[in-house]
Amino acid sequence: MDVVKRNNIHTFGKGDQPLMFGHGFGCDQNMWRFVTPAFQQHYKIVLFDHVGAGNSDLSAYDTGKYDSLNGYAADILEMCDALELEDVIFVGHSVSAMMGVLSAIRAPALFSKLILIGPSPCYINDENYVGGFDRADVLSMLAYMEHDYPLWADTFAPLIMGNPDKPSLGEELAQSFCNTDPDIARHFAQVTFLSDNRPDLPKLQTDALIMQCAEDIIAPAEVGTYLHKAIRNSTLVQMKATGHCPNLSAPIETIAIMEDYLKV
């Protein structure tokens, strides 16, 4: 299979070091359009769509392969191999952050840094761990998606985006959700929200930046603190940006934090 076509890969930029951007649930590579221009003079920008999202090859979607985040991590490594990338800086938003972590654990020599925006290793509260959701809430949400996916998208997208003073952003996210095949979206949501990658975190050798948004209902502040303690070579930055998608709602702050980290 043509990996470039499968994942709708686009590359541009004047630099040699790859800066690879992974999007979150219900989104596609277009969500990075406000961020990538700041880096294209000095990096090779690599954009892609996860299989099942955007303009990826939907025929490549396999529920068996993508029944865990490891399937998506395998795709990331295949893309790096197909493009002959080295010294990769992987920027992962939301669930893509854990895909980047899993990829770097499997191929530590391939990655120089990880930038994790709104990451979460586990979305479900568990004893002393605060993930943000009770398991019953997640199961209820998945049932809601199955019953009426468009209504779920219209209801939840503004809550996920936050920034009620910028309603167009919530509307854009809702439209992005609705552009995704409902069956694929629900399966992806199930894999995302029921995953638990906490045991993987101590295995990570790659330096990582954790960008924690304020008032993020998907990844609350306790999650960022947990990740920072669990990942030995990590830097935690508390953002002023609110909501779960600072790449759209606060690109200037997102860029500034990334630039400051990459200078280190």
Q: Report the C-alpha gap between 247 and 258 in whole angstroms.
A: 11
CA 116/CA 136 separation, integer angstroms: 27
**Known catalytic residue: 50?**
no
| Per-residue pLDDT, 170 | 87
122 in helix, strand or coil? strand
Q: Is 176 in the active site?
A: no
**Rounded distance between C-alpha atoms, residue 103 and residue 76, angstroms:** 7
pTM above 0.85, yes or no: yes
94: left (phi over 0), alpha (psi -120 to 50) or beta: left
- pLDDT score of 252: 98
Radius of gyration over every alpha carbon of the chain, rounded to an integer in angstroms = 17
83: helix, coil or strand?
A: coil
Task: Give the model confidence (pLDDT) of 152-200 as tens digits.
Answer: 889 888 888 988 888 898 898 888 887 889 999 999 999 999 999 999 9
For the chain (264 residues), the mean pLDDT of every run of 10, in chain order, is 95 97 94 97 97 96 97 98 98 98 98 98 95 95 91 88 87 84 93 97 98 95 97 97 94 98 86
Class of domain 3-262: alpha beta
The one catalytic residue among 56, 94, 195, 234: 94
The pLDDT assigned to 209 comes to 98
Q: Of these residues, 28, 49, 75, 216, which one is catalytic? A: 216
Confidence (pLDDT) at 130: 96
The values of phi and psi at residue 239, to 5°, are: -85, 155
From CA 52, how far away is CA 203, in angstroms rounded?
Answer: 29
DSSP string, 127-171: TTB--SB-HHHHHHHHHHHHH-HHHHHHHHHHHHH--TT-HHHHH
Q: What is the pLDDT of residue 264?
A: 57
**Among residues of the chain, what percentage have pLDDT more than 90?**
85
